[in-house]
Amino acid sequence: MTRTTEHHIDMNETLGNVPASRSGVAITPAHRHFFRALPKAELHCHLLGAVRHDTFIALAERTGAPIARSEIDAFYTRGEKPVGVLRVLRALDEYLLTRADDLHRIAYEYLQDAAGQNVRHSEFFWNPTGTVRVSKIAYADAQAAIVAAIRDAARDFRISARLIPSIDREADPDEAVQVVAWMKAHRADEVAGLGIDYRENDRPPELFWEAYRDARAAGFRTTAHAGEFGMPARNVETAVDLLQCERIDHGYTIVDDPALAARCAERGIVFTVVPTNSYYLRTLPPEQWAELHPLRRMAALGLKIHPNTDDPTLHKVDPAGAWQLMFDHFGFGIADLRRFMFNGIDGAWVDESQRAQWRTAWAAEFDALAAALP
Ligand code: HPA
Ligand code: ZN
């Protein structure tokens, strides 16, 4: 490996190890401070995708998991054509998480890391089906542990957070109905709504209409991973029109359906996009990755996009890095980032008075930070 290559990887460590920027935008230390300090919401992050590398090792040692240290290190290595992280999440359920306290630990550590990046509010996903069926931790205990971590982190790090129990779409749709039944039986203020994730291929959103109907009827908010992995815009349409989702996670292929995009723009639906998404890093030519990435066109179509980390420790990205990528790779300016910040507030599942307060306070902070840029 040449020195240049080493340097390239070092520089990209918090930027998802993505192709070097060709935009010509210069990043100074003042910019780095700006991306870190700007007040952020995070609306698309998976609890199991945010486990620290050393915590993964410690849990594996405690449980005697049949995963070699080299394999763990490979999980936490991001190649130039990343294979995706879903198998790592499955390994966590299967071997590492054995008691509710483990969930408290990873949630508390995630929120500590996020707060260190000036994430003021996080809404993060957790898949109860794997926890209950595979890790054999009861729903009530698991949710209580995560909610306790949210309260502890609020006290210790001044970050607010909400939990989004998320459907494992590779499991039977009846399991999704069960997730909503658990949510209804164990209500907590911090448990805001329902999501769905895992492999979208062959698992379109309509399979899960019943769980979404029940969630809405019970007063939960709703979002869905749709239009990821190159799956059709139709899945976004189904999530919006049939499941009646208020937010969409990813949603990239909506660029293939401008009429649908116009409707979503009109309705102000927030799209939580992920600059380090594995599918596009794998399938677009590296030298054109930033240029051809659909999230650019989503913004041009008037959609309310908001940048997120998704699986930060596995993607080798942090919130500051995700925002920096929008600026130095994807061609957005400081005024665009300001709009994205407001999109995050608009999309947050908190009451309107809280959103109004954030709009005022965060705008003032953002403007003061932006004024200090070269
Ligand atoms: N997509 C689908 N499933 C996931 C993701 C994602 O971005 N992250 C964790 N599970
Ligand atoms: Zn995701």
pLDDT digits (tens, 9 = 90+) for 269-322: 999 999 999 999 999 999 999 999 999 999 999 999 999 999 999 999 999 999
Helices 100-115, 139-157: axis angle to 10 degrees equals: 30
When pLDDT is cut at 50, 70 and 90, the band that residue 16 belongs to is: very high
The pLDDT of 16-22, averaged and rounded, is 92
Q: What is the pLDDT of residue 14?
A: 86
pLDDT digits (tens, 9 = 90+) for 163-206: 999 999 999 999 999 999 999 999 999 999 999 999 999 999 99
Q: Which residue has the higher pLDDT, 10 or 232?
A: 232
Whole-number Å distance between alpha carbons of 143 and 126: 9
Q: What is the pLDDT of residue 7?
A: 38
The pLDDT of 317-334, averaged and rounded, is 98
Q: What is the pLDDT of residue 9?
A: 39
Domains and CATH numbers, the chain: 28-371 (3.20.20.140)
Whole-number Å distance between alpha carbons of 40 and 342: 9
Whole-number Å distance between alpha carbons of 58 and 61: 5
pLDDT digits (tens, 9 = 90+) for 58-104: 999 999 999 999 999 999 999 889 988 999 999 999 999 999 999 99
* Measured CA distances, 230 to 104, 207, 235, 243, 325 (Å): 34, 19, 10, 20, 21
When pLDDT is cut at 50, 70 and 90, the band that residue 10 belongs to is: very low
Its pTM stands at: 0.96
Which residue is closest in CA terms to ligand 1's atom 9?
46
Ligand at minimal distance from the CA of 44 is 2
The Å distance, Cα 361 to ligand 1 centre, comes to: 32
Assess whether the C-beta atom of 168 lies below 6 angstroms from ligand 1. no
Whole-number Å distance between alpha carbons of 105 and 127: 16
* Nearest ligand 1 atom to alpha carbon 274: 7
pLDDT digits (tens, 9 = 90+) for 35-68: 999 999 999 999 999 999 999 999 999 999 999 9
* Nearest ligand 1 atom to alpha carbon 48: 9
* Cβ atoms of 366 and 36 closer than 8 Å: no
When pLDDT is cut at 50, 70 and 90, the band that residue 348 belongs to is: very high
Q: What is the pLDDT of residue 6?
A: 37
Q: What is the pLDDT of residue 13?
A: 72
The Å distance, Cα 309 to ligand 2 centre, comes to: 8
Which residue is closest in CA terms to ligand 1's atom 10?
198
HSE-CB at 225 with a 13 A cutoff on CA atoms is 27
What token pair was written down for 344?
Answer: 């995050």
Distance of CA 259 to the CA centre of its chain: 26
Q: What is the CA radius of gyration of the chain?
A: 19
* Measured CA distances, 229 to 201, 217, 225, 282 (Å): 7, 30, 10, 10
Whole-number Å distance between alpha carbons of 374 and 368: 13
pLDDT digits (tens, 9 = 90+) for 116-137: 999 999 999 999 999 999 999 9
| Sign of the C-alpha dihedral computed for residues 96, 97, 101 and 103 taken in this order | positive
Residue located via tokens 């394999």 = 71
